[in-house]
Amino acid sequence: MKVAILAVEGCMHSAIAGIADILSLANHVMQQSAAKSRFTCQTLSLDGKPVRAGGGRMVAVDGAIDRHARFDAIIVPGNLVDHVTAERLQPQYARAGAWLRQQHANGRLIGAFCSGVFLLAGAGLLDNRRATITWWLQGELRQRHPTIDLAADAVITAADRLVCAAGPMSWVDLLLRLIEMIEGKEIAKLCADYVVIDTAQRTQSIFMPVGYLLSQDPLLTRADLLVRRTGKAPMTVKRLAGALGLSERTLNRKFQELTHEPPQAFIMRRRVEHARTLLETTTQPIKAIARTAGYEDESSFRKAFRKLYLDVTAGLSRPADGADGVETSLACQIRRFSFCI
């Protein structure tokens, strides 16, 4: 597996060093067991010159980006720059984005984490595709790139050879997912075990401060928590109104104002979206996911999922820029739900 790390001014130095260390350790472990080394790693800059990282340190690189370079995966680190600096770096971002588009069209896996996701989004690679980013940048990503299918709860997403991870330290999750996609689950698990990385599945919601959640919209935040924590008893409009201290009529009016849909549609959307995140980030069986989402009847859950996402999937674009025709992540999920029984 050949990995390239794209270093642009302001990038996170810790991730570049950490990725190289984990791959070196993995090679050492394999050599100890008489297996062949599997990993090589190069750090590239736009011009082949050292890059100043976000903390001010200079990052040595192995070379410049090349149209004909061949890698299995390319990783785009997050960056630590303010908006003024980011504006100054736009020409660099545009050049990097053009290279990434070409590499993706040539079949490469592209991964980004934290604010590095903006580089993929700016290059148009995430349009109409599933993606995630750290919770405190989600509002900006939605505003700048509204066509992205944002998985707000997910720590990591994968769609059409594009892998996104959420936070500044999520490069660990990103690297393990790329290893799994190229080398298989056993090698990825071996790497995780030897560097003592917790691979337990999780969502971003557990990290979001209550103050942040309430600042988005107190009523919708409370409603969201109530719907997702309903337990086995299905959430109804009547129950939700009562829990929020509102009449059903007032609840309906407020939801129409805030979401342009009735409360029942909001309830179904949040339950199914929560289930979708569990499907993408855990190995739980469908029946267990249905119950977690508040559906005792698996058939009802399946119908709700299709009703919400089937029409959306039909409108998603196929892989662009010469990609190999791999189905979108969402289409694959619907097929899994359709044939799992």
Note the pTM of the prediction, 2 decimals: 0.69
* Residue 107 near residue 324 (C-beta atoms within 8 A): yes
Give the pLDDT confidence score for residue 290 in this predicted structure: 83
Domains within the chain, CATH numbers bracketed: 2-194 (3.40.50.880), 209-339 (1.10.10.60)
CA distances from 269 to 31, 43, 219, 253 (A): 49, 42, 16, 18
> How far is it, in rounded angstroms, from Cα 103 to Cα 67?
8
Confidence of residue 152 (pLDDT cuts 50, 70, 90): confident
pLDDT digit string (tens) for 191-243?
889 888 876 666 776 566 655 655 667 788 788 878 877 666 778 899 999 99
- Give the percent of the chain with pLDDT over 90: 49
Indicate left, alpha or beta for 294 from its phi (over 0: left) and psi (-120 to 50: alpha): left
* Residue 131 near residue 139 (C-beta atoms within 8 A): no
Lookup: tokens for 47: 């011009």
The β-bridge partners of 73 are 3, 109
* pLDDT above 50 (res 329): no
* pLDDT above 80 (res 338): no
Lookup: tokens for 223: 């409603």
Give the pLDDT confidence score for residue 34 in this predicted structure: 79
> Is residue 143 helix, strand or coil?
helix
> Is residue 40 helix, strand or coil?
strand
Confidence of residue 326 (pLDDT cuts 50, 70, 90): very low
Confidence of residue 324 (pLDDT cuts 50, 70, 90): very low
> How far is it, in rounded angstroms, from Cα 302 to Cα 295?
9
> How far is it, in rounded angstroms, from Cα 293 to Cα 290?
5
* Residue 78 near residue 12 (C-beta atoms within 8 A): yes
* Residue 149 near residue 129 (C-beta atoms within 8 A): yes
Q: Give me the half-sphere count of Cα atoms (radius 13 Å) on the Cβ side of residue 139.
A: 6
CA distances from 312 to 121, 128, 234, 281 (A): 20, 10, 25, 21
User: Can you list the pairs that 234-243 forms with residues at least 24 positions away whose Cβ atoms lie under 8 Å?
Assistant: 234/294, 234/295, 234/296, 235/267, 235/271, 235/294, 236/267, 237/262, 237/263, 237/264, 237/267, 240/267
Confidence of residue 331 (pLDDT cuts 50, 70, 90): very low
Mean pLDDT of 57-82: 93
Confidence of residue 153 (pLDDT cuts 50, 70, 90): confident
Helix (H) or strand (E) holding 163: strand 162-165
Give the pLDDT confidence score for residue 231 in this predicted structure: 64
pLDDT digit string (tens) for 97-117?
999 999 999 999 999 999 999
Lookup: tokens for 153: 């709860």
* Residue 293 near residue 257 (C-beta atoms within 8 A): no
Compute the mean pLDDT over every residue in the chain, rounded to the nearest whole number.
Answer: 83
How many degrees, rounded to 5, is the angle at CA 17 between CA 12 and CA 20?
130
Which of the residue ranges 70-84, 237-251, 267-281 would you say has the lowest mean pLDDT? 267-281
> Is residue 246 helix, strand or coil?
coil
Which of the residue ranges 58-67, 192-201, 328-337 would you say has the lowest mean pLDDT? 328-337
* Residue 74 near residue 109 (C-beta atoms within 8 A): yes
What single-letter DSSP state applies at residue 319? Answer: P
Residue 293 or 78, more confident: 78
